[in-house]
Amino acid sequence: MKKGDANPACAVCKYQRRRCTPNCPLAPYFPANHPNTFQNVHRLFGVSNVTKILDSLHSSDQKEDAMKSIIFEAEMRRRYPVHGCSVIIQQLRFQIECAHQELRRLYSLCLQVAACEEQLNNNNYNNHLNLDIGSGNGNGAAIDDKMMAMDDDSSAGIPHRRSEAFFAHSTASRKDGVGLGPQPLSPARIVHRPSSLPLTLCQPLEPLGLPLFLLNSEWRLSSLTMRGHVV
């Protein structure tokens, strides 16, 4: 067996019709069974330019990466003679833009969901408040608790705030007919403040938002009087 048959020439040496030496710099990248790869690179770059690029690099990793890039660019130029690698670049940019549009669309949907969730929470809070107010129509326990809480605040020096919920409850319709509208006050239910009592001890019921006809029991009047609330 001849020596040339044991060590076939690489595609570069075969094209140049010369003997391929073991130290041939292009033999690892252009084997004899891949002549088309070398033809593409030679048509685009030329053998001398590829050799100069390899000589300017020192490490084997850099040379391998450079040859992969050269071979890939030559193959893309063969597939797309006009645009070459720019076709792949445009495709990647298009994919990135599609991903950005999808992210913006998802962000907009997240904002809409957050707004709907906030509105739903507000509606649930309002419904819960209405249920709390409606539960006091039977025995007035919820109103008494809120009145006691306001009394504690007044005793601590915290000014009362007008409660729209109590005012709405006072004018709301009830099954027993009480609260259908402003009710006339009987003289027995009107308690006047003594003129000798200091004004600092007088806490009017008007800031509570409660009409006097809700105080329909002697216990409520006595409890408010004991706490320093006199009308």
Q: What is the pLDDT of residues 109-122, one digit of tens each?
A: 999 998 888 888 88
pTM, full prediction: 0.44
- Asked if residue 144 and residue 74 are part of one domain, the reply reads no
Question: If you ran DSSP here, which 8-state letter would residue 195 be given?
Answer: T
At 126 the pLDDT is 74
Share of the chain above pLDDT 70, in %: 52
On average, the pLDDT of the chain sits at 70
Q: Which residue segment(s) compose the domain that 50 sits in?
A: 3-84
C-beta contacts of 217-226 below 8 A and 24+ residues apart: 220/144, 220/147, 221/189, 221/191, 224/147, 224/151, 225/191
Q: At 147, is the pLDDT very low, low, confident or very high (cuts 50, 70, 90)?
A: low
Answer whether residue 37 is part of any domain.
yes
Contact, 231 vs 212, CB < 8 A?
yes
Domain count, the chain: 3
- Whole-number pLDDT of residue 106: 94
- 155 and 219 fall within a common domain: yes
Residue 218 pLDDT more than 70? Answer: no
What integer is the mean pLDDT of 130-149? 56
Could you tell me if 74 and 99 lie in one domain? no
Kindly state whether residues 93 and 61 are assigned to the same domain.
no
For residue range 17-35, list pLDDT tens digits in order.
Answer: 888 888 888 888 898 888 8
Do 100 and 166 sit in the same domain of this protein? no
